[in-house]
Structure 1
Amino acid sequence: MADSLEALEARLAELQAEILAAARVGDTIAMKRLRRQRREAQDAWDALAEQEAGQATPVTGRQPLSSPTAAPPRSVGTKPGRGTPIREQAHQALTILDAPAGPQLIAATHAAFLSEPVVTTRLGSLRRDEERSFAAQPFARPYYIVPALNHDWLTPVRGLLAVSTWPLERRMLGPLGPRTDFLSHARRIAEQVIRIQDAGLEPDPAAWRLLRSFALNIPGAYEGYGEPDPKRVALAAAAEAEVHTDADQSERRSAARRARNQLTDPVRLLFGASPAANVGTSQAQNT
């Protein structure tokens, strides 16, 4: 299993490099083909990761209360006496959330579903560490923790992290981005809780708290008492997201096109333009 995941991660890194190379020469046909291959590889990685998680009780939830002999939880990927590296913690949580997120949400998601605390202060310096690593040796790692990018100026959005293997459009943040990403987070968390229940396990109390915090802010998702119904939360989040999808996706695609045209340096395409450079003078000018 681990070898398969590593092979897929290596493939994702290769595809990302090929996409950037195609973007630099303006080969849109190759870019479409490579993006399709990247989506397929990412889906395969997600499926394998979820399968691996399903074989490890601590990742998906607690043992049923009727199993007194169950072993105490232990975080997957954590060896005795050594915690999971912060970049892997961020990647694991962001893979669940599937949209840019801030340190507090990353930490809460990891604690809810992976049974391991995250030191949020370390996430603050992680992006800069990742940028230095990439600049020194591009694409040496299967993925990098990168910032979300402002749709207007193509600069890093302070405090929002993403994954380098995601499509560029998903890393863009426009006017509707905060709400659509919030709804995406809610749906993914609800689906994670559903998977835990389908496996016959009891979600951790932290997972219920996290789900409730989202459900309270989505019309029709929750009545405000007891535990929220994860299926209802997922449906309510998807229903509201439909209202915003067309406009939000149009904004993201437009910003991504400008980014590919203006941020020709792979470092800048992943980590954003320097604010002092004033790349992207205005959205209206470049659409």
Structure 2
Amino acid sequence: MQQLQEALRQALTQHDTAQVHSLGEELTRTRHAWNVLCGITEVPDTAQPEVQPGVRPEPALAVVEPNQDVPVRDQVHQALALLTVPASPKLLSQVHQAFFSTPLNTARMTTLRRDEERSFRSAPTAAPTTSVPR
């Protein structure tokens, strides 16, 4: 959001109204996604963008459906990489849902934590990364 705000300020100083409008809309969408992620607002059931008469909407970015065959460990690592800090299973699930459109099953994360803990106890240097505290 900070990068969008900085780009918006720069567009304002350059009097680039088209860029200001575009960045303003993107910042609004980003703030809404952040609020949903933090649990401040709810996700609307029918989220359809408003279309003004005579204005063609921009084509939507291609959304790649997440691969259901991705292991839980990799999904947890994706969410942790986005957060860059340790987090609770509930927060990891919310972050993964916000960015990848599918929630993580917290029960499967518990199983993963136990499996990785056992693995670490048996061979501490075997795995380059783990998703549980060492």
TM-score, normalisation: structure 1: 0.25
User: Counting strand residues as a fraction of each chain, which structure ranks higher?
Assistant: 1
User: Counting helix residues as a fraction of each chain, which structure ranks higher?
Assistant: 1
TM-score, normalisation: structure 2: 0.50
Indicate the structure whose relative CO is greater, using CA pairs within 8 Å and at least 6 residues apart. Answer: 1
